[in-house]
Structure 1
Amino acid sequence: MDEISFGTDGWRATLDTFTAPRVRMVGQAVATHLEEEGLAGPVGVCYDARESSPGFAEELARVLCANGFDVVMPERDRPTPLLSWNIVERELAGGLMLTASHNPPEYNGVKFIPSDGAPALPEITGSIEANLAEPEPLPEEEWGSVRRVDFVTPHADQALDLVGEDVDLTVAYDAIHGSGRGVTDSLLKRAGVDVIRLRCEDDPTFGGVSPEPTEENLAELIERVTEGEAELGVANDGDADRIAVVTPERGLLNTNLLYAALYDYLLETDSGAAVRTVSTTFLVDRIAEAHGERAIEVPVGFKWVADAMVAEDALMGGEESGGFSIRGHVPEKDGVLTALLAAAAHDEDPLDDRVDRLLAEHGEIHQGRVSVDCPDEEKARTLDALSESIPEAVAGERVEDVNTADGFKLLLESGAWLLVRPSGTEPKLRVYAEAEEEGRVEALLDAGSELVREVR
C-alpha cells in the first residue's frame, strides 16, 4: 500500500512495483470512493498498448464488478481522451485508465477520471489513496457485468462536429505504436485528409523506444514533412493525450508556438480566454490581449488547466508539454482532437506562416528547460531554502516580481522569466526560462541551475 501514490497524473511505477495485487487495491479504493459519493455506475475501464495493460484492466474490471458496478470497456487498447469523452457521453460514474503514457514498456500506471471527464483533483485522489484496501467482494449474485463497446465513433463524431470536415491536406501520422493507431489516423481520414501512416502497427515494445514524441524519436516523420512528401506531420504519445506537430519549415514545431497558433486560429471565429500553465509561453498572453481576451495562469498539471477552463468558460487550455483541449469538448488534454484541429488550421493557413505573423506582431520567443537532480525527500527543503534566497537580479537582469503558484517564477524587467519547480514524476527540479533571444535563455537556465545548486 505504501508504494501506491497518486501524483500529477495518477500512479505510475515499474512492473516490479506495479503489480496485480496493488492494482486490485486501487480498484477497491475507487469502488469505495464511488459508493461514498453515492455514484452507482457504470464505470469505464480503458487501457493503453502495453503488453501488461489488458490484464491489469481485467483485474480492475473484476474488482469493480465484485463491488456491484457494471463496467464498460473498449474492444482493444484506446487513447485516454476517448475514455474521458465516453465517460461524459455515456454518463458513467467515472473511469480507470491503465497507462504509463510516454514511459517505456517496463512501466505501467493507472489514473481515475471522474464523471465530468476532467482529470481528478487532489481531493478525489486523496480519497482514493485513503481507501486503498484489499478487495471486498459482494455475494456473487450482486456482482455487476462487463460490456465491450465502441469508444471510437462517439468521440470522432463529436470531434468532427466541433472542428469541422473537408480538410484537404496530406498528413503523415506517427503513432509510435501507441493507442493513437487506428484512431487519430482514422479521424483525419474521415475529415478528408490523405494520411501517410507511420508506426501504426501493434507493437507493445513501441519499437524499442519510449512512446514520447520528441525530435529524437520522430526522425522519419520530420523527414517526410521537410522533404515534401507530406504537408504536415502529427504524432501522439503512448496514450494519445498529447501531440507533436511537424511543419515544412520548422520541422518539429515548438509546442508553445503550436498553442499560440491554434489559439489564434480559434479566435478567428470565436472568443474566450486561454488557460496556460506557469511553464507555458507568455506569447499566448500577448495574443489574448490583442483580441481583448485574457490569459489565465495555473500550476503545472492539466487538472489545473481543466479546472480553470470550466470555471472561466475558456476557449482553449494547454501546457508546453503538448496537452491541449478546447471549449465544447471534455476538459482533458486530447491529442486526437488536437491533431484534427492542427490539420484544419494548417489547411486554412500554413502554420509556419501563421507563426511567422504572430512573432512579427508580438515579438520573438525562445524557451528552454533543464533538470537538476533532487531526491523527492529533498524537494520541499530545497524550495524552502530557495524562497529565502531569491536574488534581486538574475543573469544581470532585475527581478521585478515573483510568482509562487508552482515553485518560483522570477519575472524579469525585459519580460523574460525563469521558473524553478519540482517534477511530479522524477527526482528532479525543473528549471525553465523564456526570453526573446535564444542566447539569453541559455544564460537564464545556467543562472537558475546555479541557484538550485547553491541551496542544495
Structure 2
Amino acid sequence: MDWKTTYEKWYNHPKLDADMKVELEKIGTNESELEDSFYQNLAFGTGGLRGVMGPGTNRMNTYTVRKAVAGLAAYIENHVEHYQSRGVAVGYDSRYNSREFAIEAARVLGAKGIQTYVFESLRPTPYLSFAVRYLHAAAGIMITASHNPPEYNGFKVYNDLGGQTPPEQADKIYHQIEAIEDEIEIDTITREQAEADGKLVWIGDTVDKAYLQKLATITKNEEAIKQHAKDVKVVFTPLHGTAHLPVKEGLEQLGFNQVYVVKEQAEPDPEFSTVASPNPEEHQAFEHAIQLGEEVDADMLIGTDPDADRLGVAVRNGQGEFEVLTGNQLGALMLDYILSQADELPEDGRMIKTIVTSELGRAIADYYHIPTIETLTGFKFIGEKIQEFYDQGEGTFLFGYEESYGYLVGDFVRDKDAVQAAMLSAEMAAYWKGEGKSLHEALHSLFDRFGYYLEGLESTTLKGKDGSEKIQSLMNHFRSTQYEQIGEFEVATVEDYEAQTKRNQASGSVKEINLPKADVIKFHLADGSWCCLRPSGTEPKIKCYFGVNTPSVEESEKKLKSLKEAFMNEMNKVLYQEK
C-alpha cells in the first residue's frame, strides 16, 4: 500500500483510539508530515525500534508497540522452550509513555498466555538485561530511546541470554512483526485482568538486590578502595534518567561517601529540561556537574544517559580544569587498569572492542599479551561474543567497550552498563589518587607508552524519506568508487562489511571479512590512520569515524583535522552534487 492508503486505513479504522484520531486530524493538512508518518513501518534497527512518538506506522505509539510485542511473542513461541512459564521481563525509562508502553507489552503478552515481569518503576537498561538472566526469562523488552531527544521513544529486544538480539534473531523477529497485517486489531487483555490472572507480575526489589550483590564482584583492588575511596570526591548526574539510586547505592556500597548529586538533574524528567541533549558524549551535558564540581572541589564528574547504559567522565587536566574524556580514552583507562590489577591473567583472556573503537585498546591488550577481538558496531555483538566463549569453552571475557561511551566489566549483564562503569571509574580514581596521580595523568602515561591516539566523529543528520535515500546513495557511492587517495592520505585497504570483503588497493587482492554483513565501509590508510562511514541504526544520521596515532598531541591534532577535512569534502561532494 502507498502511504495515503495506509493513512486512510488507520483514520477510518473503527477500533482506532479516539485520542490518536484527534492527533491525525491535527496533522491532516500537513501532507509531508503525514507521508513521513506512514510511508514505511518503523524500522527494526540496531536494538529494536526507535522513533518519534505520534500516530502512524513510522512512529512510536500504542499500535506499533503492540505489533512489535506480538511479533516477539510469535518468535519465542517457535524458538524458546517453556516460553509461557518463563515469561518476558520488561523495563522502562523516564521518557513520555514509557510506563504505558511497558504495560501495553504485558497486555499483549497476557492475551497470548505469556507471563510478563514488569519493574514497578523506572530502571536502567542493564537492569533489564540482568533481570532476563536472573529470572531465566524467555526474552526481554526495554522501553527506551536512550539519549535521543524528548520526542523519541523506543523498544529494545533482548534474547533469553540477556543480550540484544544479534542479526539472525533480529531478522526472524522482524519477519514475525512484518507478518502482522493490522496492528490495530491485535488482541490484548486489560491490565487488571493480567494482574488477576498472574500474567502481569510486578518485579519489586528482588532483582535490584541481586544486581547490587553482583556489582560488588567487579572490584579489582579492594585495598585501594579501602584506603582511598573516602578521599575521592565524586559529582554525579543521572541527566534526568534512571541511574540516580543505582549509582549512588553502588558507590556507597563500595565505600565512596563523598558523592554529590546534581540536584537540578537528579529527578526523572522526560523533557530533559536542563540540557540540550541528555547525552554524556556531549560536553554541554556536564555544565551543571562542572559547576558543582568546582564548588565541592571534586576529583571527578560522572554522568549517565537516561537509560544508564552509557557513562561519561570528566577529570581535572593539567590546568586544573574539568575535561570530559572521550569514550575511547575512558575505555583505554579501564582496560589498562583491569589488566594491570590482575594477579594473574587467564591464558585464554580476551578483550572485545568494535571496529570503530580506538586502536589504543588493541595496543594496551597486546602489551599484556591479551588478544583483541573486534565486532561490528553495537553492543549486541559483544554480548554475542561473550556467549560464544561459554558455548565453545574457549575464551575468558575480561572487558568489552565501544567508543560511544559503552562499557562492560562483569558479564552478569550482557549489554553496556553505565552503573558498572561508574563503579570502576571511581575505583580507578581512588587507586590513582593513592599513587599520587589524577586520571588525566594516568591517561597521558598511556599516551607516553603507546603514542598519542586521537579519534573523531562527524555526524550528518538527514531526516525523513529524502534523508534515507541520500544516506543510501552516499553509501553506494563510496562502495562503488575505488579510492586510491583521500586528500593527501593514501588508501591502503578498504573494508566493505556489506560485501564482507577487505581489498588491498595496491595489489587488488581481496580477503574475506569473518563478521556479519553490515552497511559499513572502513578505509585503512597507509600511515596507520583510518576512517569509517556508517549509517546510524537508531537515528537519521550518517556517521563518519576517524582515528590517527602520532608521537605527540600536536601532530595527532593536525593529522586528525586534515583527515576529517579531506573525507568530509568527499562526502559533501556526493551529498550536494558538487562537481
Residue aligned with 2:146, SS:
coil
Residue aligned with 1:264, SS:
helix
Q: 162-171 vs 393-402, which deviates more?
A: 162-171
Q: How does 1:302-341 map to 2 (within 5 A)?
A: 302-311=379-388, 312-341=395-424
Rounded to whole Å, the distance in 1 between the matches of 2:170 and 2:116 is 20
Q: Please tell me the residue identity of whatever aligns with 1:172.
A: V
Superimposed CA distance per residue, residues 225-284 of structure 1 (whole angstroms, 9 cap, x where no aligned partner): 467621111110010001001111151111111010100011021452221112211101
| 2:131 is equivalent to residue 59 of structure 1 | no
| 2:353 is equivalent to residue 276 of structure 1 | yes
| 2:379 is equivalent to residue 291 of structure 1 | no
| 2:218 is equivalent to residue 162 of structure 1 | yes
TM-score under structure 2 length normalisation = 0.74
| 2:456 is equivalent to residue 368 of structure 1 | yes
Cα distance, 1:142–1:181 mapped onto 2, change above 3 Å: closer
How far the C-alpha of 1:416 sits from its partner, in A, is 1.3
Partner of 2:270: 204
| 2:87 is equivalent to residue 87 of structure 1 | no
Q: Please tell me the residue identity of whatever aligns with 1:324.
A: Y
Rounded to whole Å, the distance in 1 between the matches of 2:373 and 2:290 is 33
Partner of 2:508: none
Rounded to whole Å, the distance in 1 between the matches of 2:208 and 2:218 is 16
Picking from 420, 424, 427, the partner of 2:540 is 427
Partner of 1:233: 301
Superimposed CA distance per residue, residues 179-237 of structure 1 (whole angstroms, 9 cap, x where no aligned partner): 11211122112211121011212323222533211201211213444676211111100
Partner of 1:146: 201
Partner of 1:77: 122
Rounded to whole Å, the distance in 2 between the matches of 1:35 and 1:83 is 21
Rounded to whole Å, the distance in 2 between the matches of 1:298 and 1:403 is 13
Decide whether the 8 Å contact of 2:89 with 2:141 is kept in 1: yes
Picking from 15, 31, 44, the partner of 2:53 is 15
Give the greater-gyration-radius structure (CA).
2
Rounded to whole Å, the distance in 2 between the matches of 1:391 and 1:203 is 47
5+ long unaligned stretches in structure 2: 1-37, 389-394, 433-437, 498-517, 550-555
Picking from 182, 204, 209, the partner of 2:245 is 182
Rounded to whole Å, the distance in 2 between the matches of 1:34 and 1:366 is 44
Residue aligned with 2:397, SS:
coil
Residue aligned with 1:207, SS:
coil
Rounded to whole Å, the distance in 1 between the matches of 2:288 and 2:202 is 39
Decide whether the 8 Å contact of 1:273 with 1:314 is kept in 2: yes
How far the C-alpha of 1:383 sits from its partner, in A, is 2.0
Decide whether the 8 Å contact of 1:386 with 1:455 is kept in 2: no
5+ long unaligned stretches in structure 1: none
Bigger helix fraction? 2
How far the C-alpha of 1:142 sits from its partner, in A, is 7.3
Superimposed CA distance per residue, residues 65-114 of structure 1 (whole angstroms, 9 cap, x where no aligned partner): 22112221222100000010111112111111110111122111111111
Residue aligned with 1:365, SS:
strand
Picking from 411, 429, 438, the partner of 2:524 is 411
Partner of 1:443: 562
Decide whether the 8 Å contact of 2:409 with 2:420 is kept in 1: no
Partner of 2:486: 394
Rounded to whole Å, the distance in 2 between the matches of 1:64 and 1:387 is 43
Picking from 71, 80, 100, the partner of 1:29 is 71
Cα distance, 1:197–1:142 mapped onto 2, change above 3 Å: closer
Residue aligned with 1:330, SS:
coil
TM-score under structure 1 length normalisation = 0.94
Partner of 2:505: none
Picking from 219, 236, 253, the partner of 1:173 is 236
| 2:255 is equivalent to residue 192 of structure 1 | yes
Superimposed CA distance per residue, residues 411-432 of structure 1 (whole angstroms, 9 cap, x where no aligned partner): 1222211112222233332222
Picking from 316, 330, 342, the partner of 1:248 is 316
How far the C-alpha of 1:395 sits from its partner, in A, is 3.1
Decide whether the 8 Å contact of 1:184 with 1:339 is kept in 2: yes
| 2:93 is equivalent to residue 48 of structure 1 | yes
Decide whether the 8 Å contact of 1:234 with 1:243 is kept in 2: yes
How far the C-alpha of 1:313 sits from its partner, in A, is 3.5
How far the C-alpha of 1:373 sits from its partner, in A, is 5.0
Decide whether the 8 Å contact of 2:455 with 2:545 is kept in 1: yes
Q: Please tell me the residue identity of whatever aligns with 1:32.
A: A
Partner of 1:258: 330
Rounded to whole Å, the distance in 2 between the matches of 1:242 and 1:346 is 18
Rounded to whole Å, the distance in 1 between the matches of 2:274 and 2:49 is 23
Decide whether the 8 Å contact of 1:226 with 1:251 is kept in 2: no
Q: How does 1:121-132 map to 2 (within 5 A)?
A: 121-132=166-177
Decide whether the 8 Å contact of 1:48 with 1:179 is kept in 2: yes
Picking from 288, 296, 304, the partner of 1:220 is 288
Decide whether the 8 Å contact of 1:61 with 1:146 is kept in 2: no
Q: Percent identity?
A: 29
Cα distance, 1:236–1:122 mapped onto 2, change above 3 Å: same
Cα distance, 1:204–1:428 mapped onto 2, change above 3 Å: closer
How far the C-alpha of 1:387 sits from its partner, in A, is 2.4
| 2:475 is equivalent to residue 383 of structure 1 | yes
Rounded to whole Å, the distance in 2 between the matches of 1:228 and 1:142 is 52
Cα distance, 1:83–1:347 mapped onto 2, change above 3 Å: same
Residue aligned with 1:316, SS:
strand
Decide whether the 8 Å contact of 2:130 with 2:211 is kept in 1: yes
Superimposed CA distance per residue, residues 276-303 of structure 1 (whole angstroms, 9 cap, x where no aligned partner): 1122111011111111122222221111
Q: May I ask how many residue pairs the two structures share in their alignment?
A: 456
Decide whether the 8 Å contact of 1:225 with 1:246 is kept in 2: no
Root-mean-square deviation over aligned CA pairs: 2.2
